[in-house]
Structure 1
Amino acid sequence: MNGISVNEALELLKSHGVILKAGRSGLSNIIETVSVLEVELYQPWLHGGELFLTTLSAFKRMDQVYQLIRDLKDTGSAALAVHPGNKQEVFMDDQAFKLAEDLNFPILILPKSIPYSKVLSIVMGAILNRQKVMLERSQELNRYLTNILLTGGGFKGIAESLRDALNSPVIIADSTGSTAAEASHPMYDPIFFKKEAEAVLRECAEKGYPEKGIIHEGKLNIKFLHFPAFEGRGKIIVVSVYMGTTPYGYVVVPEPKETDLSYLEMILTHTGTAVALEASKNIAVRKVEEKLNLEFIDDLLNKNYSSEGAIIRRAEQRGLDLSGQYSVLIIEIDNYEDLYLKHLGENDWIVQLVKERLYNVVDTVVQKYSRKSITIPKGERVIVLKHIPNNIKRNDVKVLLRDLAQEIQREMGGELANVPISIGIGSCCSNIADFAQSFHHADQALVIGRRIKGGRGIFDYQELGIYSLLLTFGNEKLKESCYKNLKKIIQYDIENNSELLKTLETYLDCGESINKTAEVLFIHPNTVKYRLERIKKILEEDPFENGEEKLYYYFSIKAIKVL
């Protein structure tokens, strides 16, 4: 916004006899350019921000003048300055002035003695001078912020420079809305302002990405958002910084009461650019770190190392401490293939955004539990090496890991409720060689858990029981054999819409207790007895006759669920 207000122009022109006739409430309109309007077909030349000079000689009827005022207001013109020309009075009546007053559109009356050239010279001179001052300020600020970045000042240096420029507190947040730096000001309560900032940042983070209208893939997108402050104390400005559709960060400041709006927009734009540059640097460093960490984790979990000493030295080089007890968790998007195909092409950035959000949520929760834990993004998965503190008793480890998994699901549900995730929990490991096994167990837990219970689950390998054993045998011949054993019951259930197979499995799960089976299935014990007799008739043998028969059928039921 480079220009001067109508009020500033009026003050410059008053000494030449220019007066305001209507539209006082529009004196804050910004004049960006001055133009002459002396044609009847003026509409193609209306772009907004103009101070139009006119004698209205192109208009023969007063209703045309009324329409002109409406059109100028609708297209964002700043004001209309009317000259009498060769006449004694301007071609406007009281109704025209009243219309302009109602529309808050300024009408200036020029004296017969002042030529257009004088008005053009005075107003355009002021505009150019303002632009020159703004350019000098912009260059000075740009040099200052660049120096901060080059000298390693980071987000803290950017926040402090903006605080000094605006005399107000500043908070800079990262892409997740978490505070990256803050600069307090003695005129503001830092705790109160931080609460205000956190509230508006939550709203920004929930939105997730800018409106489609401001998305320019691969380009820097800076947008100003205004939110009401607490207790009606003015407004809060949030500068959202995006690179294409990727959030880079946010700048939060109270809206200044007396700062020039053009200067405010300029300084916040420069600050947003500085935040983008600093974030880009941090992202580049983080991506290199993630790549190196991922290579290391892949080698660790696949036992791709010459000796334990070699992998330990690599861990130390990465700043990772693998001593103590760990468990591997795998957090994975359930419907990733559907999500990918849905947004393939124009909206594939949404998939990337979802994966970034998943990683951010998991990493935030995991680090809250233990700073020694390691979180690595890998495609639609996030792999966690969860450190288990020494003071945690063996019996409490299972509870700790499930609590962690449940919190991840809760947080993810709040962030992206429509993106279901499942979590596999591996066995505990206390030495380097066992990490690969823990990872394999977590992966197995995911595979088996989804087959048995579907998505949105938390699956602990230690709770898989016989299923983990069955998966190690998995092959088509075994599957065919198990299905053949149960074919008659399965066929009967399909034809009669019954639940004999479920009853058989539950009866064996419940240690052949009829009452317990009835309780689990919510049916009468006599119904259980009837179904068991029906099963015997269909199979033409007693599946409960001896231990070998029971194991034979129990194994078959479990096998067809996972193979």
Structure 2
Amino acid sequence: MPLTVEEMLQIGDLKDVEVLAGERGLSSRAVKTVVVIDVPNAGQWIRGGEFLLTSGYLFADDEFSFIDLVDSLAQKNAAALGVKIGRFLSKIPDEAISKANKYNFPILKIPTYMNHVDIINPVLSAIINTQYKLLETTETLRNKFLDSILLSKGVEDILNILEEFLNMGIAFVDNILGIRYYSRNSGLKGAIENSYITEIVNKYPNTQITIENRVIGYLIYEKEPSYLTSFADIAIREAQRALLLNYQKMEFAHEVERRHRDVFLKDLLYSKFKKPAEVFLQAKIYGWDPTWKLIVVVIYIDNIHKENFDDNLTNNSRSENEFSLSQKFAAYFPGAILTQIDPHYVALIPVKEEKSFTFLRNKIKELHQIISQSKKIDLVITLSSVKKDLLEAPHAFAECLETFDILRRTEQKPGVYSWCDLGVEKVLCTLKGTEMSQNFWRLILGKLIDRQDESSSFLLQTLEALIINDWQMRPTAEFLHIHYNTLKYRIKKLEEILEIDGLQEGKLRFEVTLAFMLYRLEHSKSLHNWPRSRRV
């Protein structure tokens, strides 16, 4: 930080200098050099930051020139004006005092016994010392931060270094991962740990850290740092640079690892390995213990509802999504590895002996909620059943894909779904697309499905609503927002078209339900965009 006028007046004999005007500018005006101005029109040579000295000789009989000089110096951001009073200039004009106070421009009374050299030498020495100290501090900080990054000490160590220089607790809120980090003595943890980022930024002094127009996080301070130390801005600037370098280092390392990991995971999930030993050998590289059981998790972002899905995501956005997801899964499930197989992400989560499937599912639900809220996106996560080792990963992956396919066809809401929780749909999946399945639903429902008139779609929706409501008529009528008698009429029409003598009989209901479920599994088009007022 530059030497202020206030700090300059603490040097040696300058303590005897009297402040005549502009006292409020002592702490804000910086001294960059010292200049003697016993020449006419001195104001035109000002560049800013000068402490100007005058004997007053030029202004002995021309107080208006002195007033104009004060006005010019103040507006050109000079540091201060030092005047010897008594020898040539008997007093400072009142108008000059008024202007100096208006612009917070210090006018200083230099004792008559003090030579200019007694002022110039110590002040210039102090300026040089301040600049040297500034450079030295910057270099010290830079080296400390660089060592922390090279030795991979982490974000907390960077915050600890900054805490030493600011003498207060610091926090860093990661905007990409949503993780909070704290310095050693930070009192912010209890205050911000469960708060939203916007709330934290609005409440506490902070510094935004960006890279390529992306906000990667915020440095959060317990107090306003500029009030505590003159070197605060240097320390904060170097900490910003260190956090950016640390982020780029992590991102680069993640990218290199990701490329190799993606090849391994895709080969594994698509059963391209010929030797089991090769699978376990490569898995060890990524920290996977061959004795671990596993579940496969597939994450679908904004894809359950196609209208919310952006097919034009940039590479940076996709990379950032994957980096964020990978870090979150690693934090929640140590040992987990993740890859992207468009349009979804696939994670292999180890199931260790002490962790039950229910525990892992609940943790995944917790993570689903955090990601959905922080990113404001629809998120569907499907889980496989527990498999004994990596060799069963392809089967687990297939379970996740099949689960999502069922969810898509039955239009379930975003959430966490497990293959283990599926009911009869899981059994019917084994029949989906087979000749037996197609022959069965065509035999039962073909006459209705093949009809081309407008009423057939309403009747098909009515049939689905009956099945959803367990064939109970009154709840079905309410579900469809139609009159009870209208529903009775539609059921009669269904019986006529399907050539069924009464849909009230249990065996017939079962056959119709089974046929409809098989049909729905093979056709992704929504059937229940329910009408609100139409009548058939």
TM-score (norm 1): 0.68
1:28 aligns with 2:27: yes
Q: What displacement does 1:300 show?
A: 1.9
What is the CA–CA distance in structure 2 between the aligned matches of 1:392 and 1:526, rounded to whole Å?
54
What's the secondary structure of 1:507's corresponding residue? Answer: helix
Deviations for 1:77-105, whole angstroms, at most 9, x for unmatched residues? 364426589973677534x5345436544
Does the 8 Å contact 1:84/1:90 carry over to 2?
A: no
Q: How does 1:189-268 map to 2 (within 5 A)?
A: 192=187, 194-195=189-190, 198=193, 203=197, 241-245=209-213, 261-268=229-236
Q: What displacement does 1:320 show?
A: 0.7
Look up the match of 2:288.
320
What's the secondary structure of 2:464's corresponding residue? Answer: helix
- Of residues 469, 476, 490, the one that matches 2:429 is 469
Look up the match of 2:476.
517
Does the 8 Å contact 1:328/1:442 carry over to 2?
A: yes
Q: What displacement does 1:403 show?
A: 3.3
Does the 8 Å contact 1:450/1:457 carry over to 2?
A: no
Look up the match of 1:502.
461
Look up the match of 1:437.
395
Paired AA for residue 348 in structure 2: L
Q: What displacement does 1:325 show?
A: 4.3
Aligned residues: percent identity? 20
What is the CA–CA distance in structure 2 between the aligned matches of 1:550 and 1:142, rounded to whole Å?
71
1:127 aligns with 2:127: yes
- Of residues 408, 411, 424, the one that matches 1:453 is 411
User: Matched residue pairs, number?
Assistant: 503
Q: How does 1:127-166 map to 2 (within 5 A)?
A: 127-143=127-143, 146=146
Q: What displacement does 1:179 show?
A: 5.7
CA RMSD after TM alignment: 5.2
- Of residues 454, 461, 467, the one that matches 1:491 is 454
- Of residues 370, 393, 403, the one that matches 1:411 is 370
- Of residues 283, 298, 315, the one that matches 2:266 is 298
Q: What displacement does 1:7 show?
A: 0.7
Does the 8 Å contact 1:7/1:27 carry over to 2?
A: yes
Q: What displacement does 1:270 show?
A: 3.9
Range with greater deviation from structure 2 (302-311 or 547-556):
547-556
Look up the match of 2:529.
none
Q: How does 1:47-62 map to 2 (within 5 A)?
A: 51=51
Runs of 5+ in structure 2 lacking a partner?
Answer: 527-536
Bigger Cα Rg: 2
Look up the match of 2:531.
none
Look up the match of 2:106.
106
What is the CA–CA distance in structure 2 between the aligned matches of 1:356 and 1:153, rounded to whole Å?
20
When residues 124 and 381 of structure 1 are mapped into structure 2, their CA distance, relative to the original with a 3 A threshold, is: farther
Paired AA for residue 4 in structure 1: L
Range with greater deviation from structure 2 (431-440 or 399-408):
399-408
Does the 8 Å contact 1:5/1:30 carry over to 2?
A: yes
What is the CA–CA distance in structure 2 between the aligned matches of 1:378 and 1:206, rounded to whole Å?
35
When residues 300 and 343 of structure 1 are mapped into structure 2, their CA distance, relative to the original with a 3 A threshold, is: closer
Deviations for 1:178-229, whole angstroms, at most 9, x for unmatched residues? 4667434xxxxx6x454357589x647976xxxxxxxxxxxxxxxxxx975x
Range with greater deviation from structure 2 (349-358 or 133-142):
349-358
What is the CA–CA distance in structure 2 between the aligned matches of 1:533 and 1:254, rounded to whole Å?
73
What is the CA–CA distance in structure 1 between the aligned matches of 2:447 and 2:49, rounded to whole Å?
82
Paired AA for residue 493 in structure 2: R
- Of residues 276, 291, 295, the one that matches 1:308 is 276
Look up the match of 1:212.
none
TM-score (norm 2): 0.71
Q: What displacement does 1:458 show?
A: 3.7
Does the 8 Å contact 1:401/1:425 carry over to 2?
A: no
Look up the match of 2:487.
528
1:421 aligns with 2:422: no
Q: What displacement does 1:305 show?
A: 0.8
Look up the match of 2:94.
93
